[in-house]
Structure 1
């Protein structure tokens, strides 16, 4: 699926927002980001939803699309159903108090994907995806909080939002549901949002939205926020793969202890030294770049990809074709004393900083932009890898 990429090309990249309403982005980042909620009236003036409710429901029928339905009064309180669904499922839903949620709509609809560009005032590697929810009157997913930042853009209809208390892992939850519904909610603010209005919610802030009338669609722009547990677990596994087995704990200056059962401060210092020896800034950057650019949803295909060599893609670009970024691609780069690594869909690729900046900044790349890099073998190799792993696609 993925945009039917051989048939369709996404629009040119949009510049990130410089203001949220009348507020400069710099003020937002200083005073609100990860600190407190913000209501932005008319954040997108004249906003029209690029996808209709029926089209969203159509996506939820697809095997490769992650979708859910939440019924406030289902077989259990706040019943959760996982897709893919069929048309009969929608026909049997009640008139009120349910919600359809479709994850990563940006990977399936070009105009939705384009919306993410407005939010690239936050680093690319922090952006996660764009989820869209649809609800009839009074539909919602209950009072809850998230562990990540989210912008809630009203796309169609109206939604009544309540903002509540600061929450954490110990906040009491409703029993008997797979959803993490809060059993207590203390309203601090509330508003009704209409198309183009947007609400920013930092991590840990309780919020509760319900549709006002039918055909309510809300766009949720979420951000990646790996847990400390995931960071330590994942980097440990990555680093361990590159450590020789003959590197072992050692204590050549061992001294006799008064009690053989004690783990002394010298042993702890040695362990700390071992950890710091392997967790260097370069190692951390290399792992983090790959980890944060891994695709959340992988395209399933039975076809063996055709290898495109450097001569072929250079000839295609020189003939007027373009390179364009796959809509699901994730890109970032890091430079240090050892050079620059471009991180693309979980891979680390050595290249020039100039090429990394170009690939991360542009949605479409022409031959004029690429031509200066074809004289450098390692940049040519980097571009060939990007094309063959389908981070960059050749536009026919």
Structure 2
């Protein structure tokens, strides 16, 4: 399942134009099995039995009472699985974080979303018992959410937006923030999807059957973060920004007017010196180097490398995130932590192999003979970028 499938029948371009960071989107579907290909109860049981042994990857939550980790965590971070299920039976939600790192279908969904938006995504899973149970108190999230109802149903209650597009760390504070009037209440049933921008206050409860829903969370950088990154770049180059504050700046005799003048002068100095490209480049590098490609079947590909011929069919792995860089005499391919350098003459061949969904090796353009084409393809298969069909 791809990100486009999550939004269907709404197109990705339409979603970005009409809803993204603007307003929620509810999609009700007749097909109650729509998200079965992403996650099943058997997947959850396998995860808890064989993989999910550590806190905080596995946690429990109950809106009615705080559950201390000592109730179900032993030896520092090891989960007592029997106790987790006991707490579930008593009304707690089982929270499974970063499930895209364990479940192949969720990993593929996340890669598809990351390819679309050029930013990090994550999948968390919430398993809630029936009977008007609620895992979390009323709150907002600090990142945009796509809620995918997989099993059962959940009643969502929507309120106001006390902070528009809050930053990470700018969490909902019940002691000072008001949720606003309830503006909407609806049920998400299996197969349904709800997108809502960060800052929208909500809570949800399960009706009379257990509920499993996935949150596909968007972890994009903001302009604020880019400004901070750019500012740090200037500060590392210009000592004026690294000076101590004036002596006595925190005392009763501080001169606010003088400090204001100095501050404004530094703001102007920053505006003159700041450069967007280096800060943006650091963000791009951080994103690309942290994205893992899909390597399922890579061992089988290794075994078949010696059998490749010019008529063999290959193609790029799904939703590869990479960057091609023209260096003059060479071309560089940046993908995950690897940098692959090839002669500039191989640029068109490299681009063809990465952009063609499926092709015969003999059809690769820009290289002199089949031997050169096979050499390039074998290297890209070894790097985990191409797979053999």
Same-fold call, TM cutoff 0.5: yes
- Distance in 2, matches of 1:298 and 1:18, equals 21
Distance of aligned partners of 1:248 and 1:29 in 2 relative to their CA distance in 1, 3 Å threshold: closer
Number of aligned residue pairs:
344
> The residue matched to 2:209 in structure 1 has which SS?
strand
User: Equivalent of 2:16, from 25, 29, 41?
Assistant: 29
User: Equivalent of 2:211, from 211, 216, 226?
Assistant: 216
1:333 partnered with 2:323: yes
- Residues 178-257 of structure 1 mapped to structure 2, 5 A cutoff: 184=179, 186-228=181-223, 230-232=225-227
Unmatched segments (≥5 aa) in structure 1: 1-12, 176-180, 251-259, 300-305
- Distance in 1, matches of 2:360 and 2:46, equals 38
Equivalent position of 2:134 in the other structure: 139
Offset of 1:164 from its aligned partner? 1.7
- Distance in 1, matches of 2:97 and 2:89, equals 23
Distance of aligned partners of 1:27 and 1:75 in 2 relative to their CA distance in 1, 3 Å threshold: closer
Equivalent position of 2:253 in the other structure: none
User: Equivalent of 2:59, from 54, 64, 68?
Assistant: 68
Equivalent position of 1:173 in the other structure: 173
> Which protein has the bigger strand share?
1
1:92 partnered with 2:82: no
Distance of aligned partners of 1:331 and 1:26 in 2 relative to their CA distance in 1, 3 Å threshold: closer
1:56 partnered with 2:5: no
Distance of aligned partners of 1:37 and 1:348 in 2 relative to their CA distance in 1, 3 Å threshold: farther
User: Equivalent of 2:146, from 143, 146, 151?
Assistant: 151
Unmatched segments (≥5 aa) in structure 2: 241-257
**TM-score normalised over the length of structure 1:** 0.65
Q: Deviations over 1:135-163 (max 9, x none)?
A: 11223323222222221111111111112
Per mean C-alpha deviation after superposition, the further-off stretch among 225-234 and 152-161 is 225-234
Offset of 1:173 from its aligned partner? 2.4
> The residue matched to 2:135 in structure 1 has which SS?
coil
Q: Deviations over 1:175-200 (max 9, x none)?
A: 7xxxxx97745321111111111111
Equivalent position of 1:129 in the other structure: 122
Equivalent position of 2:245 in the other structure: none
**TM-score normalised over the length of structure 2:** 0.66
8 Å CA contact retained: 1:72, 1:78: no
> The residue matched to 2:216 in structure 1 has which SS?
strand
> The residue matched to 1:160 in structure 2 has which SS?
strand
Equivalent position of 2:335 in the other structure: 344
Equivalent position of 2:28 in the other structure: 41
Offset of 1:125 from its aligned partner? 2.0
Offset of 1:209 from its aligned partner? 2.0
> Which protein has the bigger helix share?
2
- Distance in 2, matches of 1:290 and 1:333, equals 9
Q: Deviations over 1:319-369 (max 9, x none)?
A: 95856648xx8614377898976542255666747745753785xx66538
8 Å CA contact retained: 1:53, 1:215: no
Per mean C-alpha deviation after superposition, the further-off stretch among 81-90 and 200-209 is 81-90
Equivalent position of 2:156 in the other structure: 161
**Which structure would you say has the larger RCO, counting Cα contacts within 8 Å and 6 or more residues apart?**
1
